[in-house]
Each structure stands twice: as structure tokens, then as C-alpha cells.
Amino acid sequence: MSVDSAALLTALQSVIDPNTGQDFVSTKALKNLSEQYGEVSFDVELGYPAKSQVEPLRAALVAAAKAVPGVENVSVNLSIKIAAHAVQRGVQLLPGVKNIIAVASGKGGVGKSTTAANLALALAAEGATVGILDADIYGPSQPMMMGLEGRPESHDGKTMEPLVNHGVQVISIGFLVNKDDAMVWRGPMATQALEQLLRQTNWKDLDYLIVDMPPGTGDIQLTLSQRVPLTGAVIVTTPQDIALLDARKGIKMFEKVGVPILGIVENMAVYCCPNCGHTEHIFGEDGGKKMAAEFEMDYLGALPLNMQIRVQADGGAPTVVAEPDGEIAGLYKAVARQLAVKVAKQAKDFSSKFPSIKISKDT
């Protein structure tokens, strides 16, 4: 019995990607469809990491294809291919890094660093190669959160090797100074140190480099957002009015330098009592969601106020690795997937495909 090709495509088009809300046929993610004597095969290429969803998606596609009369067996090759995307004009790209994402906040104390660490670990858990640049020069916290200590090695005396834990590459000023020393540096010194950390680290084929930005919108933050080749930025805020006020300033700063805002993460959105189950919106309710709607930006998700998040980060094993199958880790992974989907929608970077032009003088 022959298989109706149109019916097969229609059936496959009924499977919706839960992360994009679109089907795989119209988005051309489904490729190389072939059918012979009831044997159907095709490829599906995701532009974002979603390792935890690969098998459910494969099963849904197989089921849809088998529902078509005449289809006996279905073979699906589902792969993840993360592309490099465009950055600000005139900013030097970084070798070995496809996409750089700034995680920023208008003020301190909103859980930006904890969110950055867990998002990096979530992207890695979903199948991406990830690094973290701890750009908080005056209060580096990634060494503790990522369970790392010691100094980076240098094989050539000019560049550094990132330290690695939980499958994530990390570099921080905290690896280069004593942890009890105060960084009494003026802005230009701090900015130069950060540029060296960024450009003199041997990042190894990163799909994403997460930059844990210093809090605020001062000279250091502005200079970094102008000099670091950013694919986009994520704003972390709590629902509290005073945090939202400062988050707006962060949004405006990135807008001024031409860095797209990939979305807003609302941290400490709700507290759930572990004893009685009562929930309380300690810092207000839906402030981040309302701000995202006001600025017409993506609301990437909300994270709870939970003591374990703090305890696990302080212990060097953030929630995503401490309880990988837990509810909160699931929230971080959902936010990370939405972030990666947003990146995948950005304009791609084609500079690596341009031919190099050499001018020679005839003699």
C-alpha cells in the first residue's frame, strides 16, 4: 500500500514543538523526509538545547507518522544544532564562543548570580556546551556557587584555561585574588581586567557563554555592554517595586547600546511554607510579568523564594545539579529552554562565512 505524501506531511505538521508553539514542517526543522514501501524516515533539527524533550518529541512524531495509512515503520533522527547569532555592530567577536548572554539586574540582592549559575547548568543539562564569565569584579560569587577554587592554568604564559565543574567552564577574578581581599579598583582598571578575563581565556567551543554582570548601570556595566559581543541580555528582577524600578534602568542601558533583551526572569516570585504549604507573595505579585508586558518583552518565567536554592548554591552545587529531577530544577530548565529558543530566533552571524580579502601589490 502506497503512502499519501500529503497526508504524511499533514500528520507530521500536527506535532507542535512545546517550546516554540510551532510545528516542525512549516519551520523547516523537519528535513530529508523519505518513504519507501511503508518505511518512513526523516531528520528533525532543533536550534536550541532540549535534551530532556528529545525522546517525547521523537515518540510524538513517530506516532503521528504511524497514524497515516500504509506507514509501517518510522525512523527519526532528532538532533540539536546551535548556531552563532549576530552581536552589536563593530564589536570584536570571541573565538570559540557562539553566543554570549548577559545576565543582569538593575540592583543587587535579587538573586542574579544564583540565577545565572542555574541557567548555565540548565543549558548544559539540556545538551549545550556552556561557560560562565563572572563579571562581578567587586563581589565574585561564581567560584563558591560552582564549587571551584584554585588558579587557572596557563600553557603559554599569555592565556588562561577555564576551570570546569558540573560540565561548565568558568572564569572569575575570584580565581586570581585571595578571597578575603577587597577589590579597590577604579572603573577603568576593573573594565580592563574583565576584558582580559573574557578575551584571554581559552573557551572551548561554547554554544553559550553566560556573563554574570555586576549589578547596576554604571560605567563598568555600560562599558561591558559596549565591548562584549553580546547576542542578548536577560534581566533578573524580583516582583518588588524598588527592584522593578532599577530593572527598568538596566533595560534602558542595553537598549541604548543596541543589545536585544531576550527576556525577563522573575526571581523570588512566591514563597511556599514547607510545613503547611501556605503561599505568600512576599515581594509582591507578578511585577516582573507586568513589566515584561509593558515593555513588550518575553517573560521567561518565575522562580520561587526557597531556602534550598540558597543552601545548594552556597554549597557549590546549585539546584539544577543538586536536585536535577526536582521541581525547581525543572523551572530553571524551562526558563533556560525559553531563553535558548529566543536566542535561536535572533539574526544569525555569517561573518565566519565571509571570505578573507587580501590585497597584494604587484611588483
Rounded average pLDDT over 142-164: 92
Could you tell me if 44 and 57 are in contact, meaning their C-beta atoms sit under 8 angstroms apart? Answer: yes
Beta-bridge partner residues of 279: 272
Query: For the chain, what percent of residues have pLDDT higher than 90?
Result: 56
As to burial, measured by CB atoms within 10 angstroms (0-12 exposed, 13-18 middle, 19+ buried), residue 114 is: buried
Residue 306 has pLDDT above 60, yes or no: yes
The answer to whether the 5-80 and 97-344 domains have the same CATH topology is no
Residue 56 has pLDDT above 90, yes or no: yes
How many degrees, rounded to 5, is the angle at CA 89 between CA 108 and CA 87? Answer: 55
- Report the distance separating Cα 208 and Cα 125, nearest Å: 13
**183 band by pLDDT with thresholds 50, 70 and 90:** low
Q: Give φ, ψ of 199 to 5 degrees.
A: -95, -15
CATH for 97-344 is 3.40.50.300
- Report the distance separating Cα 54 and Cα 50, nearest Å: 6
Residue 40 has pLDDT above 60, yes or no: yes
Binding-site residue positions: 106-113
Rounded average pLDDT over 136-150: 89
Of 321, 283, 324, nearest to 305 by C-alpha is 283
Cell numbers found for residue 288: 516582573
Binding-site residue positions for ATP: 106-113
pLDDT, residue 356, reads 45
| Region for residue 248 given its phi and psi (left: phi exceeds 0; alpha: psi -120 to 50; beta: otherwise) | alpha
Exposure b/e, 317-345, CB count within 10 A at least 16 = b:
bbbbbbbeeeebbebbbbbbbbbbbbbbe
3-class SS letters over 157-218: CCCECCEEECCEEEEEHHHCCCCCCCCCCCHHHHHHHHHHHHHCECCCCEEEEEEECCCCCC
209-223: pLDDT as tens digits: 999 988 877 777 888
Superfamily of structural domain 5-80: Fe-S cluster assembly (FSCA) (3.30.300.130)
220-245: pLDDT as tens digits: 788 888 888 999 999 999 888 888 88
pLDDT, residue 342, reads 94
The type of residue at 321 is: V
Of 228, 246, 227, 226, nearest to 236 by C-alpha is 246
Can you give the residue ranges of every domain in the chain?
5-80, 97-344
